[in-house]
């Protein structure tokens, strides 16, 4: 039986970031994934690092998002240094664009909301916006600059993070599917796999993304819901786009800096269960929004399409922290913000495991919020 200080189940950005952090602290760490690592939601993501809320339910997340954004420069610098690989971290900022309705009023609401939450947001005269990004459509009615919203090339980041974590000693074990906890109702001592093996660890962290809600004994702490997002990569031959461009209907994230340029564009928010497929309706919706932002992209070549399943939660907040089963820790439910929240999640989980205290109050994100008032302990570990 293999024994570790910490066993992490799930090799997406959350699991691998935690492994990177813990292995730097000298712990013996392994990450198991039922398939290749970094091939699910994390691989699909656009890479925008935006702590701004996309709906009122996400407002409690803003301080956590800001804390993670503040950690990002050191996070990517450490990964790049240790892996000797690039992450495509870009600090050109984001343009928020309004194309419909009473755009001026909407713009003023967005600016006020951002300022109230401590986020930089400057209204931008349309002439200035067009000068900054000549590809913008002439039908755009209002614009704002979000100077502190960077982006990262998720696929480069994934590859570099994997290498950095392994360089620091973390063991990566693809093709291992966890089906149950080992231990008893009060103590988790490891996990059981679909091939009948057992892995033993002092702490087990479930970072299994949207599938956490399917794992017996763990789902009660993390009732995750898959939310499908479709994406495309375009090859743009015109003048390179510098900023992330975001409207009510779509976003455009530049990957490379020079022309011809790769742009990733998205996305959809669909409750389609665990079915992963790109649909004609999804592509049509995305391209309609993209061509509204930058009409010349109608000439861009479609290079690739893909989709991923975001780990949604009933209250739209992530699930980060210890459970009432000793040795069982949860890090999932990051929904639309897992790339942004990876550094802070890794720091919080690592601090809790090594010091039993955290620099940030995780109470609003506790896995126990789903079990409070529910005294049914029949779903116990075995």
User: How crowded is residue 376: how many other Cβ atoms within 10 Å of its Cβ?
Assistant: 7
**How many DSSP H helices and E strands does the chain contain?**
8, 16
CA 88 to CA 80: how far, in whole Å? 10
- CB of 108: closest distance to ligand FAD in angstroms? 26
Is residue 311 a contact residue for ligand FAD (CB under 6 A)? yes
Task: Kindly state whether residue 65 participates in binding ligand FAD, applying the rule CB under 6 A.
Answer: no
Determine if 310 is a binding residue for ligand FAD (CB under 6 A).
yes
- The footprint of ligand FAD on residues 328-357 (CB under 6 A) is 332, 334-340
Q: Which of 4, 7, 8, 12 binds ligand FAD (CB under 6 A)?
A: 12
* Cα end-to-end span (Å), the chain: 17
Q: Tell me which of 52, 98, 157, 215 binds ligand FAD, using CB under 6 A.
A: 215
Residue 41 has phi, psi (to 5 degrees) of -55, -40
* Residue 363 neighbours by CB under 8 Å, 6+ apart: none
| CB closer to ligand FAD out of 194 and 239 | 194
Q: Does 367 bind ligand FAD (CB under 6 A)?
A: no
Cα separation, 14 vs 262, whole angstroms? 26
Work out how close the CB of 175 gets to ligand FAD at its nearest, in angstroms, rounded to a whole number: 9
Question: What span, in angstroms and rounded, lies between the C-alpha atoms of 146 and 245?
Answer: 10
From residue 162 to residue 181, the character string flagging contacts with ligand FAD as x (rule: CB under 6 A) and all else as - is: ---------------xx---
Candidate residues 24, 94, 166, 208; the one interacting with ligand FAD per rule CB under 6 A = 208
Does 8 interact with ligand FAD (rule: CB under 6 A)?
no
- Report the relative pairing of strands 328-332 and 319-322 from DSSP bridges: antiparallel
Burial class (CB in 10 A: 0-12, 13-18, 19+), 55: exposed
- Whichever of 209 and 289 has its CB closer to ligand FAD, that residue is 209
Structure tokens at 242: 């510098």
Residues in 259-288 that interact with ligand FAD by CB under 6 A: 266-267
CA distance 96 to 140: 10
Establish if 94 lies at the interface with ligand FAD (CB under 6 A): no
Question: Which strand (E) or helix (H) includes residue 116?
Answer: helix 103-116
Q: Which is nearer to ligand FAD, 32 or 135 (CB)?
A: 32
Q: Does 231 bind ligand FAD (CB under 6 A)?
A: yes
Interacting residues toward ligand FAD by CB under 6 A: 9-15, 32-35, 39-42, 44-48, 177-178, 207-209, 211, 215, 229, 231, 266-267, 308, 310-311, 332, 334-340
């Amino acid at each position: 039986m293999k024994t570790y200080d910490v066993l992490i189940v799930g090799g997406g950005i959350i699991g691998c970031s935690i492994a990177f952090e813990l292995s730097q602290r000298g712990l013996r760490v392994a990450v198991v994934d039922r398939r290749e690592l970094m091939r699910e939601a994390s691989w699909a993501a656009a890479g925008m690092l935006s702590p701004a809320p996309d709906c009122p339910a996400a407002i409690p997340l803003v301080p956590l998002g800001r804390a993670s954004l503040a950690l990002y420069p050191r996070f990517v610098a450490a990964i790049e240094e240790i892996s000797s690989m690039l992450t495509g971290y870009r600090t050109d900022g984001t343009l928020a664009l309004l194309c419909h309705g009473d755009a001026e009023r909407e713009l003023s609401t967005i600016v006020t909301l951002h300022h109230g939450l401590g986020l930089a947001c400057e209204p931008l005269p349309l002439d200035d916006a067009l000068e900054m990004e000549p590809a913008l459509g002439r039908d755009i009615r209002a614009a704002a600059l979000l100077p502190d919203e960077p982006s990262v090339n998720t696929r480069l980041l994934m590859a570099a993070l994997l290498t950095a974590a392994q360089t620091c000693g973390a063991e990566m074990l693809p093709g291992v599917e966890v089906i149950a906890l080992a231990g008893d109702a009060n103590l988790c001592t490891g996990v059981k796999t679909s091939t009948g093996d057992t892995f033993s660890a002092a702490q087990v962290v479930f970072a299994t993304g949207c599938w956490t809600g399917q794992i017996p004994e763990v789902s009660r702490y993390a009732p995750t819901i898959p939310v499908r997002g479709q994406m495309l990569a375009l090859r743009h031959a015109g003048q390179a786009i510098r900023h992330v461009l975001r409207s009510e209907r779509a976003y455009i994230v530049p990957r490379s800096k020079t022309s011809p340029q790769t742009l990733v564009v998205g996305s959809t928010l669909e409750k389609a269960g665990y079915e992963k497929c790109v649909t004609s309706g999804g592509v049509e919706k995305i391209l309609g929004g993209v061509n509204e932002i930058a009409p010349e992209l109608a000439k861009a070549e479609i290079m690739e399409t893909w989709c991923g399943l975001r780990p949604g939660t009933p209250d739209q907040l992530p699930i980060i922290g210890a459970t009432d089963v000793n040795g069982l820790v949860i890090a999932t439910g990051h929904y639309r913000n897992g790339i942004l929240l990876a550094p802070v999640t890794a720091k919080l989980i690592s601090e809790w495991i090594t010091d039993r205290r955290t620099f940030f109050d995780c109470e609003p994100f506790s896995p126990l919020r789903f079990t409070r008032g529910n005294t049914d302990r029949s779903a116990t570990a075995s």
